[in-house]
């Protein structure tokens, strides 16, 4: 992609910044500069359109605070005639940081006070820069990043599309970097499938009360944008269709920017705690036609928040479920991602009854644990319509293993979308009659159509097959090693890991196997397993690759093995330090 290398180069610069220690920081710092460049292009576009119509456009960001003035002042090159950076007047070093911190951010933050309407782009700019903080302390690093971003242009449809794709990719990386990936990033193939089932229409309101980075709202906008037939339809989508709320500061900022980048000029996203709203105070005018959400789970709300709900619970996801039911209009539709324990846990029985009595829970989509990177939990998607009780529930089970390197794709959802239209039965789908449930309303996923494979081999046969696989694996590793490195290079790099003379001793506390199995933290063990998985995938690709691709893969596998060795050495060094202290 045209701008992908620019994004990567910016991340490498941010990596040097002491105040930027994670993917979350990288995205936050990139976001405010990208946003100001995007806004400058947008305002230039509106200025030109107004001029063609014989009108005047008043810029929101004016004077020296325009991107083209403070960030990238230009002059004409006398030799080429092109506009180039005016290096004499372009700020850098401490002057640049001081201007951003003490003048630019306060100026933009004040838009909250000067805006005449809270649903305007001007007000949103004020909100964004009231929440954001510049963490880049080196003005030279900032200057380098600004110069890179200035090379990006967002005026054509193609440029804007590429921008949104890259920004979404960065949000995904931010989600993967966190302990709970689902907190920031719900896989887009899953979101698109949910939207196709719920099928929001122009004129309906779409609501996500735990919107994170606004993935559901952005995808719903793209889905509904294709149905625009008039100027009025466009105005409805822009101003009175999408509503979101987010409790945490950084996701709120990213959600707002993400919606703007996708084409919603003044998103109706507010910063606050949805659960602080008392359900008894919800009016008919507050209710929405469609709710799409992946609410957070856990129990960290204050005691007074718990008082806002008819069914008292400390589990935030269960509080959100009550909120969803209350906030839907009669005939309103929802697609909700939630932990699969909601289907059977005793503390959710009353909420399940509420759902079944007030809504038609017509579909449950069962997902494997690997769908959400880093989350480590199994989830389901609940599809329901408010206004009539549930009689039958159609289940579909996604029966596939997903990993970070083999994520959920659109193709994985095709069968579900096809069968869901008619609620057809298959090996992966079935129907439950609600009248057969007892008082617990247990909705656990129990597939009656799945044929269980029974291994009829004897223990001796199983053991022999494992020995054979181990031998074959060793031969393949040896073959791959001989291709990648000379014998001397291999011994120097991995002799301690793959020595033929040293058999694995389960009591050898310095061996890689012992360290991985007994000493690593759960988090490091997950990283270890992922590295081994990646190495295995590279090995498979190497055999049938061209010479040029094999050279690239050699570098990749060296880097992976180096990371593996570093991870193991961390624990060996800890033990050595303990011995030295003793």
Q: How far apart are CA 278 and CA 380, in angstroms?
A: 27
pLDDT in tens, the chain (582 residues): 567 788 889 989 998 888 887 777 888 898 899 899 989 988 988 899 999 989 999 999 999 999 999 999 999 988 888 889 998 899 999 999 999 999 999 999 999 999 988 888 899 999 889 988 899 999 999 999 999 999 888 766 666 666 777 777 777 766 555 544 345 578 899 999 999 999 999 999 999 999 988 999 999 999 999 999 999 999 999 999 999 999 888 788 888 888 988 889 889 999 899 999 999 999 999 999 999 999 988 767 788 888 899 999 989 999 999 999 999 999 999 999 999 999 999 999 999 999 999 999 999 999 998 888 665 688 999 999 999 999 999 999 999 888 878 889 999 999 999 999 999 999 999 999 999 999 999 999 999 988 766 677 787 777 778 777 777 777 777 677 766 666 666 666 555 555 544 444 445 565 676 777 777 787 788 888 888 888 877 777 766 666 677 777 777 777 777 787 777 777 766 655 554 444
Asked whether 29 and 136 are in contact (CB, 8 A), the reply is yes
| Residue ranges in 53-109 assigned as alpha helix (H) | 93-99, 105-109
CB 371, CB 401: distance < 8 Å: no
Question: What is the spatial distance between Cα 346 and Cα 366, in angstroms, rounded to a whole number?
Answer: 19
Compute how many other C-beta atoms are within 10 angstroms of the C-beta atom of residue 503.
Answer: 8
Q: Which two tokens stand for residue 113?
A: 């006070």
* Beta carbons within 8 Å of 570's beta carbon, 6+ residues apart: 524
Q: Which residues pair with 74 in a beta bridge?
A: 85
Q: Measuring CA to CA, which residue among 307, 304, 308, 305 is closest to residue 281?
A: 308
- Angle, in degrees to the nearest 10, between helices 459-484 and 547-581: 110
Q: Pick from 7, 42, 10: which is nearest to 160 by CA?
A: 42
Q: Does domain 173-436 have CATH number 3.40.50.150?
A: yes
Q: Is 231 buried (19+), middle (13-18) or exposed (0-12) by CB count in 10 A?
A: exposed
Of 3.10.20.30, 1.20.1260.30, 1.10.240.10, 1.20.1250.20, the CATH number of 4-155 is 1.20.1260.30
Task: Report DSSP state, residue 311.
Answer: S
How crowded is residue 278: how many other Cβ atoms within 10 Å of its Cβ?
12
Do 208 and 183 touch, CB atoms closer than 8 A? no
Q: How many CB atoms lie within 10 A of CB 363?
A: 19
DSSP string covering 447-503, please?
-SS---------HHHHHHHHHHHHHHHHHHHHHHHHHHS-HHHHHHHHTTTS-SS--
Is residue 300 a contact partner of residue 294, using CB atoms and an 8 Å limit? no
Task: Say how many C-beta atoms besides its own lie within 10 A of residue 296's C-beta.
Answer: 17
Strand, helix or coil for residue 431: strand
Contact residues for 417 (Cβ-Cβ < 8 A; gap 6+): 193, 196, 197
Token representation of residue 159: 């440029």
336, 297 Cβ separation under 8 angstroms? no
Q: How far apart are CA 445 and CA 365, in angstroms?
A: 9
Tokens describing residue 42: 């947008």
Chain centroid to CA 414: how far? 21
| Residue listed under structure tokens 């991995």 | 494
Q: Which two tokens stand for residue 139?
A: 């003005």
Nearest to 351 by CA among 413, 430, 443: 443
Domain ranges of the chain: 4-155, 173-436, 478-581
Q: Give the Cα separation of 351 and 77 in Å (integer).
A: 69
d(CA 143, CA 71): 8
First CA to last CA distance, the chain:
55
Q: What is the DSSP string of 382-396?
A: EEEEETS---EEEEE
Question: Alpha helix locations (H) across 151-264?
Answer: 157-177, 188-198, 215-225, 231-239, 249-262
């Amino acid at each position: 992609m045209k701008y992908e290398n620019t994004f990567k180069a910016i991340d490498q610069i941010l990596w040097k910044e002491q105040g930027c220690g994670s993917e979350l920081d990288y995205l936050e710092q990139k976001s405010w500069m990208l946003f100001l460049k995007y806004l400058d292009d947008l305002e230039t576009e509106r200025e030109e359109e107004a001029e063609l119509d014989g009108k005047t456009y008043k810029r929101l960001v004016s004077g020296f605070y325009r991107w083209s003035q403070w960030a990238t002042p230009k002059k004409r090159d006398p030799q080429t005639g092109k506009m180039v950076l005016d290096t004499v007047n372009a700020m850098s070093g401490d002057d640049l940081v001081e201007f951003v911190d003490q003048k630019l951010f306060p100026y933009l933050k004040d838009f909250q006070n000067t805006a005449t309407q809270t649903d305007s782009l001007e007000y949103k700019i004020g909100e964004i820069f009231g929440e954001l903080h510049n963490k880049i302390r080196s003005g030279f690093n900032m200057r380098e990043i600004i110069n890179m971003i200035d090379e990006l242009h967002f005026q054509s449809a193609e440029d804007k599309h590429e921008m949104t794709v890259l920004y979404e990719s960065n949000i995904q990386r931010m989600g993967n970097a966190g302990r709970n990936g689902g907190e920031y990033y719900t896989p887009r193939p899953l979101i698109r499938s949910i939207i196709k089932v719920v099928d929001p229409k122009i004129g309906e309101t779409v609501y996500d009360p735990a919107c994170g980075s606004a993935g559901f709202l952005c995808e719903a906008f793209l889905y509904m944008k294709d149905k625009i037939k008039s100027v009025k339809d466009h105005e409805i989508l822009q101003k009175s269709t999408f509503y979101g709320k987010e409790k945490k500061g950084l996701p709120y900022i990213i959600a707002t920017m993400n919606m703007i980048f996708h084409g919603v000029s003044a998103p109706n996203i507010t910063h606050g705690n949805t659960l602080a709203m008392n359900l008894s105070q919800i009016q008919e005018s507050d209710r929405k036609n469609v709710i799409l959400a992946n609410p957070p789970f856990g129990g960290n709300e204050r005691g007074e928040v718990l008082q806002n709900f008819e069914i008292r619970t400390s589990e935030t996801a269960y509080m959100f479920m009550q909120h969803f039911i209350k906030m839907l209009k009669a005939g309103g539709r929802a697609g909700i991602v939630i932990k699969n324990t909601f289907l059977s846990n005793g503390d959710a029985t009353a909420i399940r009854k509420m759902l079944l009595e007030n809504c038609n829970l017509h579909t449950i989509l069962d997902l494997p644990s690997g769908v959400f990177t880093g989350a480590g939990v199994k989830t389901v998607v609940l599809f329901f319509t408010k206004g009539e009780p549930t009689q039958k529930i159609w289940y579909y089970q996604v029966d596939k293993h997903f990993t970070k390197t083999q994520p959920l794709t659109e193709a994985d959802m095709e069968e579900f979308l096809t069968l869901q239209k008619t609620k057809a039965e298959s090996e992966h789908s079935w129907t439950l009659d609600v009248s057969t449930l007892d008082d617990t309303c247990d909705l656990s996923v129990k597939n009656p159509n799945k044929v269980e494979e029974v291994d009829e081999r004897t223990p001796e046969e199983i053991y022999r097959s494992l020995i054979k696989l181990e031998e074959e694996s060793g031969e393949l590793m040896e073959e791959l090693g001989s291709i990648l490195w000379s014998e001397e290079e291999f011994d120097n790099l991995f002799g301690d890991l793959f020595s033929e003379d040293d058999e694995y001793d389960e009591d050898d506390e310095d061996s890689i196997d012992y360290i991985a199995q007994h000493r690593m933290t759960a988090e490091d063990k997950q990283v270890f397993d992922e590295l081994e998985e990646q190495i295995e995938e590279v090995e498979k690709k190497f055999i049938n690759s061209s010479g040029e691709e094999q050279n690239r893969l050699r570098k990749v596998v060296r880097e992976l093995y180096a990371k593996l060795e570093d991870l193991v050495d961390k624990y060996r060094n800890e033990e050595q330090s303990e011995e030295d202290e003793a």
